[in-house]
């Protein structure tokens, strides 16, 4: 059997490859939360605190897109995974694989962009590796970052409780549609901008404002995948109100034009949270007080049962399902 493109998407087919091959390590846990939990990161207990640890390789095309670039996404992607565990990002590694002939000026721009994003996160790149491959062995550049964060009490993606309120920290679908329209060269009037940004500041405010039971960032596979993983791992049903979902008008238009569900594409500066109902308003206010959280909204609630149900604006109901593949390959 061969690996195919569906295996690279954050959906159901990918889960199969994971289950059959990539999570077969017997040595998969260092005493806390390990690979077996398939959360946004791992947790390693250390003294009286916890180290959060995560990694991501970045292969986005084009390298520079409206609102961001591969450098910014390489820092934010990993820092945000740490934040999803409740972890303050501290240190990142940076491993680049570069194709012979790659322009050093472009490389410098990428490094500058990474550095700027690091400054925003309050984290540093402390260790690195560089490999150069012969022409044709790699498409330009790929960047891996791994990250270390610190947390006292980790937050899981599996912690949703019946009665919780679901909050999203802003508009959905921006990054995926920004990359897609940039790639296709669509002129949609108002340019769609990627939302790529570090969310730790916003998450920290939210955690100080109330009890967060579960968090996940809706990256590959989009909101649909994130919310389904949260519901399934938590053993609950999530009900989402369609009218409450914040989606930009230009994202809606581009989605219709391309036949893509904006809930299925990656976001790179957003958080989906399950919050204790009594704390929902104060957490919402805290998120909205952050520059990356102005469009935050309460979008649903957690009930007994399973699956994710969308209550539509005309009073109907349908399932939100995790996409089987990724409608936008190489989105991050």
116-155: which residues touch a second copy (CB under 8 A)? Answer: 118-119, 123-134, 136-139, 142, 144, 146, 148, 150
β-pairing verdict for 297-303 and 165-168:
antiparallel
Q: Taking Cα atoms as reference points, which of 53, 46, 48 lies closest to residue 85?
A: 53
DSSP strand pairing (141-151 vs 165-168) = unpaired
103 binds a second copy (CB under 8 A): yes
For the segment 4-23, give every residue that binds a second copy (CB under 8 A).
4-5, 7-9, 14, 17-18, 20-23
Beta bridge partners of 94: 128, 145
Any contact of residue 3 with a second copy (CB under 8 A)? yes
Instruction: Say which residues have a Cβ less than 8 Å from residue 12's Cβ, sequence separation at least 6.
Output: 322, 324
Least distance in angstroms from the C-beta of 315 to a second copy: 40
The maximal CA–CA distance of the chain, rounded, in angstroms, is 58
Report phi then psi at 165, rounded to 5: -105, 140
Tell me if 50 contacts a second copy by CB under 8 A.
no
- Closest distance of CB 157 from a second copy, Å: 13
Give the end-to-end CA distance of the chain in Å, rounded to a whole number: 26
Report in angstroms how near the CB of residue 270 gets to a second copy at its nearest: 19
Using rule CB under 8 A, residue 112 touches a second copy = yes
24 binds a second copy, rule: CB under 8 A: yes
Q: Check binding of 324 to a second copy (CB under 8 A).
A: no
Site for a second copy in 57-86 (CB under 8 A): 57, 59
Give the β-pairing of 272-275 and 212-216: antiparallel
Per CB under 8 A, 227 contacts a second copy: no
- The residues in 165-204 that bind a second copy, with binding defined as CB under 8 A, are none
Residue from 12, 66, 93, 277 touching a second copy (CB under 8 A): that is 93
| Residue 41 binds a second copy (CB under 8 A) | yes
Dihedral pair phi/psi, residue 318, rounded to 5°: -150, 160
Distance CA(188)–CA(66), nearest Å, equals 13
Half-sphere exposure of 250 (CA within 13 A, CB side): 16
235 binds a second copy (CB under 8 A): no
What does the alpha-carbon distance between residue 14 and residue 3 come to, in Å, rounded to a whole number?
Answer: 10
The nearest distance, CB 6 to a second copy, in angstroms, is 8
Q: Give the number of residues in contact with a second copy, rule: CB under 8 A.
A: 85
Min dist. Cβ of residue 293 to a second copy (A): 23
């Amino acid at each position: 059997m061969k690996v195919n493109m569906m295996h690279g998407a954050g959906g159901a087919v990918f889960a199969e490859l994971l289950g059959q091959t990539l999570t077969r390590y017997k040595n998969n846990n260092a005493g806390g939360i390990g690979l077996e939990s398939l959360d946004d990161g791992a947790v390693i207990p250390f003294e009286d605190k916890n180290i959060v640890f995560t990694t991501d390789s970045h292969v986005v095309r084009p390298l520079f897109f409206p609102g961001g670039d591969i450098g910014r996404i390489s820092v934010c992607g990993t820092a945000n995974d740490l934040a999803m565990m409740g972890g303050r990002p501290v240190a990142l590694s940076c491993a680049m694989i570069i194709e012979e002939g790659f322009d050093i000026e472009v490389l410098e721009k990428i490094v500058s962009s990474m550095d700027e994003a690091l400054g925003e996160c309050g984290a540093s790149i402390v260790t690195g590796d560089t490999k150069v491959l012969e022409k044709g062995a790699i498409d330009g550049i790929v960047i891996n970052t791994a990250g270390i964060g610190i947390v006292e009490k980790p937050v899981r993606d599996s912690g949703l409780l019946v009665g919780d309120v679901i909050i999203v920290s802003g508009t959905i679908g921006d990054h995926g549609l920004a990359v897609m329209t940039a790639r296709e060269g669509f002129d949609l009037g108002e340019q769609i901008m990627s939302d790529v940004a570090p969310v730790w500041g916003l998450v920290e405010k939210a955690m100080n404002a109330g009890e967060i039971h579960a968090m996940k960032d809706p990256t590959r596979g989009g909101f649909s995948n994130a919310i389904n993983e949260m519901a399934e791992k938590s053993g609950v049903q999530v009900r989402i109100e369609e009218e409450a979902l914040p989606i930009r008008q230009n994202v809606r238009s581009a989605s219709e034009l391309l036949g893509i569900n904006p809930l299925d594409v990656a976001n790179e500066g957003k958080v989906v949270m399950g919050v204790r109902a009594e704390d929902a308003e104060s957490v919402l206010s805290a998120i909205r007080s952050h520059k990356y959280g102005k469009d935050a909204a309460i979008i649903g609630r957690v009930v007994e049962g399973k699956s994710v149900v969308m209550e539509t604006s005309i009073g109907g109901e349908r399932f939100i399902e995790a996409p089987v593949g990724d409608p936008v390959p190489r989105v991050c």
